[in-house]
Amino acid sequence: MDVLAVEANLGFTRAGEVIDDDDGRGLKRAISRPLDGDFARQFEYRRCRVRDWSAPGHPPLDFRAMGFEAISLASSDALQNLLAQIRGAGEISGQQARRLRRLLTGSVFPLSRRRCLKVLNVAPEGLIMRKGGPNGLKVDPDVEMGEMNGHDVALAIHGDQDVRGTPLKQMMRGWAPWLFRHQTPDGSNRYSPLVLVNLWIPLQQLTRPLALMDRRTLNAREHQLRYALPTEAFLDRTEDMRENDIWAFLHDDAQQWYFHSHMAHDQAYVFDTLGEPHGSFILPGEAVAERCYLQLRGLREQLAAGGAIKRCDSAALELPADTTAPLRQAIESMARLVATVPVDQVGKPAADVWLARASEAMDAVVRKSLEMRVVALLLPDVWPFRRSAGS
Ligand SMILES: [Fe+2]
């Protein structure tokens, strides 16, 4: 049965972490803590209802009104092949990143309300791949965070860039609020066709999906907070640009949140980099997925080591009622493999087949996504605007 919405925890700034901002903009600020600081000190989990916008009968998303929308990437075979390769490898190479930028630049994607989005430029900085295991499990704890790889899934709800903040302020010499369309608590630009958007491609996200807020339900003056994000751990920048001015958010019951339960890389989100609230969350049922994942990992290690196999207790799967259908299936596949580990077949072909299936089933519950910053034009979806470069 389709699950229309899930009850889940989203991470928000604690009310006690808010101070007055002293920049003369009349805004509030969240205190900056080190990136590797204690999550619980700065953020709190609040129970939210997160609606699955892929459920039948759901009205279409709307970039201009809601702050986010999904576009189809299905028409480009070259792009789909590249994304499948990156998903399989679990990381993105410099060459693949260049190819991805080339394939996207100049493309035009239809949006709702007779608009389209023409990609002018994919920013050289900020193309990253994220990976996270079910229920917050770190799948490769030894991989160091680099510029593009080794990034965990974002835990806290945030907005990616303040239009008046670093580094945009330095890069565009203060012109960004005039050039880019934006909605900011202390001013907006609703006329410019030039947008700075995140292109967020879910390579796979049966677990840890991205939640996005319908921006019409945000009280920006009360709940949107300036926040200086330290970047030295993953970016090499000059002294005046060490901190990114991004947004943090306080929770409010009026806020409405959305996710998609089975989005793959034939679709991508575009959302407003200049403030759209977003972050990942843990779905109901992920604790069971994590347990099955760890059981399979243990059995896989025992089989590979060639010793005696200790069968796991295959306890009944007690999944919450609002476990999404794709996650339920993935958990059932893992549980079947746990129950059928070929204990007497070590070193034989049956064990190799099982090992390959176990790796595949484990990989399916690892969230992998790509994100990048894109400068684009919001245009009427009519000829000649809808023509992609080269088409
Ligand atoms: Fe983000």
**C-alpha of residue 77 to centroid of ligand 1, in Å:** 27
**C-alpha of residue 279 to centroid of ligand 1, in Å:** 7
Cis peptide upstream of residue 326 (ω within 30 degrees of 0): no
**C-alpha of residue 156 to centroid of ligand 1, in Å:** 9
**C-alpha of residue 93 to centroid of ligand 1, in Å:** 21
Q: What is the largest CA-CA distance in the chain?
A: 72
Q: What is the separation of C-alpha 329 from the centre of its chain, rounded to a whole number of angstroms?
A: 22
**C-alpha of residue 248 to centroid of ligand 1, in Å:** 11
pLDDT of residue 142: 76
**C-alpha of residue 160 to centroid of ligand 1, in Å:** 5
pLDDT of residue 57: 84
Whole-model pTM over 0.85:
yes
**C-alpha of residue 196 to centroid of ligand 1, in Å:** 13
User: CA dist 288 to 89, 300, 368, Å?
Assistant: 26, 18, 19
pLDDT of residue 102: 96
**C-alpha of residue 305 to centroid of ligand 1, in Å:** 41
**C-alpha of residue 312 to centroid of ligand 1, in Å:** 39
Give the start-to-end residue ranges of the domains of the chain.
Answer: 5-282+367-380, 286-364
Residues with CB under 5 A from ligand 1 (ion): 160
pLDDT in tens, 149-185: 888 888 899 999 999 999 999 999 999 999 999 999 9
pLDDT band at 237 (very low <50, low <70, confident <90, very high): low
More confident residue, 306 or 31: 31
Highest mean pLDDT among 226-240, 259-273, 310-324: 259-273
Instruction: Give percent above pLDDT 90 in the chain.
Output: 71
pLDDT of residue 383: 78
pLDDT of residue 235: 55
What are the tokens at 169? Answer: 């302020």
Inform me whether the pLDDT recorded for 390 exceeds 60: no
**C-alpha of residue 200 to centroid of ligand 1, in Å:** 9
Helical residues (DSSP H) of 137-236, grouped into ranges: 168-171, 176-179, 220-223
**C-alpha of residue 193 to centroid of ligand 1, in Å:** 22
**C-alpha of residue 210 to centroid of ligand 1, in Å:** 10
